[in-house]
């Protein structure tokens, strides 16, 4: 059998002949096996998928233009028409209805950040406008609200009860295709130090998660929400079997604060910590093999008032084991201002229990316009105890950079860390003010942007 331009292989030809002859019996999987229905996730998913929604956002983004295009004479001379200063940006993600009566939907902060309009599409095809109740960039959790009519909500599970190897199902809107279901197992727990967000205690799963799944549900086989899908490691741009979800217990605590206060009011203990290494354990002559060492206690902080001292080793907080410095920071970061915590410590090798009432951190702010005309529009802050940079980097953070401001045009970005001024190290806003206010011109700034160290010259 030949087709012009093609030659069918013999095996494929034989298959074609076999199909041409009508088979006596149609082959296929039986509906039942040994009088038992085939195992299926369909019944659970039929109950769960109506609670998982697709989210589409639209925002306006300022466009960067060549400074020459700002000059009316230049545009008129070369007959260049006016260009729009803004463009529309659209993105897609997912969300989970967690309170049907009040219409609360959990999603990721990065899904709704900066959105002018948010459209939620339900499983039954309804499209609803949503408003943001509150959002927390440090945990990447946001709460939005839709009209509470005929909604289905998911029950949150105790994510602390998860074990590596538990079966899980991811539900979301990958690549904007529409609601999609994938399955896998819990690959690891307590993943941290990835630099994805401020507070990291991720569930790792091999259930396929792709762009657009952000904010979607990770459920157990009972259909309970165990996590909110938030990130992937994707060297090729798609799923490679390494996805991360925020645990339901973390989501619950953040959501409760957002619903109550409109924001997250994190309690502060006022300490800097580092991991308890075998070398430190030997140096302190203590038997502990895991914990967090108090490296510094801030004056007049909650820890100082409670009697915590440098060199103390924290083993437990409120009965929860502390494995390392990041674990301690995560536990404290989910507690609210005014809550009392019980710290189980080792001091000089002896056990000790201390209670402390958490305070509120008030960052010291410094407006860039007071330092240099080209820094107008940026607000500097000290690196706070909640920052993932705490204890890792000494410097001052550009907490906010106004779009189109002199600071933005000079090349400064939000989250840049100023580590030096005129070849002198900077550790806090007071030092930045002292060094940058000398009137020296040009002003030389050393800064960190992600993992890169850059130099910015202001004239």
Q: What DSSP assignment string belongs to 333-364?
A: HTSBTT-EEEEEEEETTEEEEEEEE-EE----
Residue 433 burial (CB count, 10 A):
16
Return the C-alpha torsion angle 283, 285, 290, 291, nearest 10: -80
Q: Is 214 a catalytic residue?
A: yes
213 in Cβ contact with 174 (< 8 Å): yes
Core vs surface per residue 279-318: b (16+ CB within 10 A) or e: ebbeebebeeeebbbbeebbeebbbbebebeebbbbbbbe
Residue 376's Cβ-side half-sphere holds a number of Cα atoms within 13 Å equal to 5
Q: How far apart are CA 192 and CA 198, in angstroms?
A: 10
Quote the tokens at residue 278: 């075998």
Contact at 8 Å (CB) between 364 and 384?
no
Catalytic residue check, 110:
yes
Catalytic residue among 135, 208, 214, 387: 214
The catalytic residue among 136, 140, 312, 324 is: 140
SS3 string, 57-79, reads EEEEEECCCCHHHHCHHHHHHCC
Strands (E), 124-216: 127-129, 131-136, 141-145, 167-172, 180-191, 202-205
How far apart (Å, rounded) are the C-alpha atoms in residues 404 and 420?
A: 24
Choosing from 110, 159, 206, 324, the catalytic residue is 110
- Which of 310, 307, 306 shows the shortest CA–CA distance to 297? 310
- Give catalytic residue positions: 110, 140, 214
């Amino acid at each position: 059998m030949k087709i012009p331009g093609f030659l069918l292989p013999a095996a494929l030809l034989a298959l074609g002949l076999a199909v041409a002859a009508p088979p006596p019996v149609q082959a296929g999987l039986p509906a039942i096996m040994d009088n038992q229905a085939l195992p299926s996730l369909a019944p659970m998913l039929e109950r769960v998928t109506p609670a998982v929604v697709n989210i589409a956002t639209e925002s306006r983004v300022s466009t960067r233009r060549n400074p020459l295009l700002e000059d009316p004479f230049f545009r008129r001379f070369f007959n260049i028409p006016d260009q729009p200063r803004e463009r529309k940006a659209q993105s897609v993600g997912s969300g989970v209805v967690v309170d049907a009566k009040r219409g609360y939907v959990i999603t990721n902060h990065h899904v709704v950040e900066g959105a002018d309009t948010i459209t939620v599409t339900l499983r039954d095809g309804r499209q609803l406008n949503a408003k943001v109740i509150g959002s927390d960039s440090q945990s990447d959790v946001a709460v939005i609200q839709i009209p509470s009519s005929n909604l289905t909500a998911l029950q949150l599970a105790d994510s602390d009860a998860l074990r590596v190897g538990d079966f899980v199902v991811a539900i979301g809107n990958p690549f904007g295709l529409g609601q999609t279901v994938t399955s896998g197992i819990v690959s690891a727990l307590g993943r941290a130090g990835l630099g994805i967000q401020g507070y990291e205690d991720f569930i790792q799963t091999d259930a396929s998660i792709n762009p657009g799944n952000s904010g979607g549900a990770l459920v157990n086989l009972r259909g309970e929400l165990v996590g909110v899908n938030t990130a992937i490691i994707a060297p090729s741009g798609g799923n490679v079997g390494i996805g991360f979800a925020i645990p339901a217990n973390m989501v619950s605590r953040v959501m409760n604060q957002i619903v109550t206060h409109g924001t997250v009011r994190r309690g502060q203990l006022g300490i800097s910590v580092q991991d308890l290494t075998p070398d430190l354990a030997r140096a302190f002559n203590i038997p502990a093999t895991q914990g967090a060492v108090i490296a510094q206690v801030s004056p007049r902080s909650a820890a100082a008032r409670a009697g915590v001292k440098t060199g103390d080793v924290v083993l437990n907080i409120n009965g929860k084991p502390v494995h390392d410095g990041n674990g301690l920071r995560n536990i404290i970061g989910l507690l609210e201002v005014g809550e009392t915590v019980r710290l189980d410590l080792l001091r000089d090798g002896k056990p000790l229990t201390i209670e402390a009432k958490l305070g509120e951190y008030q960052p010291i702010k410094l407006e860039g316009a007071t330092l240099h005309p080209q820094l107008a529009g940026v607000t500097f802050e000290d690196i706070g105890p909640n920052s993932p940079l705490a204890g890792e980097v000494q410097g001052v953070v550009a907490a906010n950079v106004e779009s189109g401001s002199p600071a933005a045009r000079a090349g400064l970005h939000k989250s840049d860390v100023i580590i030096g001024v005129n070849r002198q190290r900077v550790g806090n806003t007071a030092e930045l003010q002292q060094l940058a206010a000398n009137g020296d011109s040009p002003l030389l700034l050393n800064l960190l942007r992600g993992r890169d160290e850059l130099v910015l010259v202001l004239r």
